[in-house]
Amino acid sequence: MKIRNRNIIRLVARIVAWINRCLYATCRLRVIESVPHSSPYAPTNGEMFIYCNWHDGILNSMFCGKPLTMSALTSRHADGEYVAVVMDAIGILPIRGSNNHGGATAAKQLMSAASKFHVTITTDGPRGPRRVVKPGIVFLASQTGRRILPVACSGSNAWHPRGRWTDMVVPLPFSTAYVLGGVPMSVPPNLSKEELAPYRDALQRQMDELQERIDAIAAGREAEPALTLAKAA
């Protein structure tokens, strides 16, 4: 049964935000920067980034700290309404749109937001294909001049509820939740669709390598690097 009453949706979403705050308060939060001053949870010396994330890591990104001056793209379908209200409840500016619905409007809003906010995009989106970078984030970087910062999330002991295509990372109480930021990637301005392709491929490789690394750290197969924020602000 789908809930269509906006007041009920907002109430449910705020309850979900509160539950997640309580869950993450029990966890050990590890935010790892590959480059200083690139975390969304601390000042970045004035630079605004486009954070590239996988959809299954959205909870860690939202609740491992308090994102500062952040906007984020969320879809226009029914589930996106819940996500948008949760974002608003924790201080993230939601921008509604997707490849299929409201894409042009969302692109304009993202370009406008990038002048004042960080932007987070779950590049594989809620419909997948899972962990495949779509070209929209590279296009946005080319149009705005903002660097893309790849992000990967994992957990030492996490639940992965099965969805239509994604295995969301939900840390279990008293486990460790990880967010790993990569090295920012610059994209030249005003590239054509064909010229964007090599940068999309390069971002895909970075995201794959970053995810493999943070999964190894979460599993104890690799030591945590020194450049770590012990707990996000």
What's the pLDDT score for residue 98?
Answer: 58
Residue ranges in the chain modelled with pLDDT below 50: 1, 99-102, 230-233
pTM (2 decimals)? 0.90
What's the pLDDT score for residue 232?
Answer: 43
Q: Which helix (H) or strand (E) holds 108?
A: helix 103-113
Instruction: Give the closest residue to 189 by CA, choosing from 137, 133, 145, 152.
Output: 145
What's the pLDDT score for residue 230?
Answer: 43
What's the pLDDT score for residue 11?
Answer: 86
CB 130 within 8 A of CB 30: no
What's the pLDDT score for residue 104?
Answer: 66
pLDDT digits (tens, 9 = 90+) for 84-97: 888 988 999 998 76
CB 201 within 8 A of CB 142: no
What's the pLDDT score for residue 1?
Answer: 47
What's the pLDDT score for residue 102?
Answer: 46
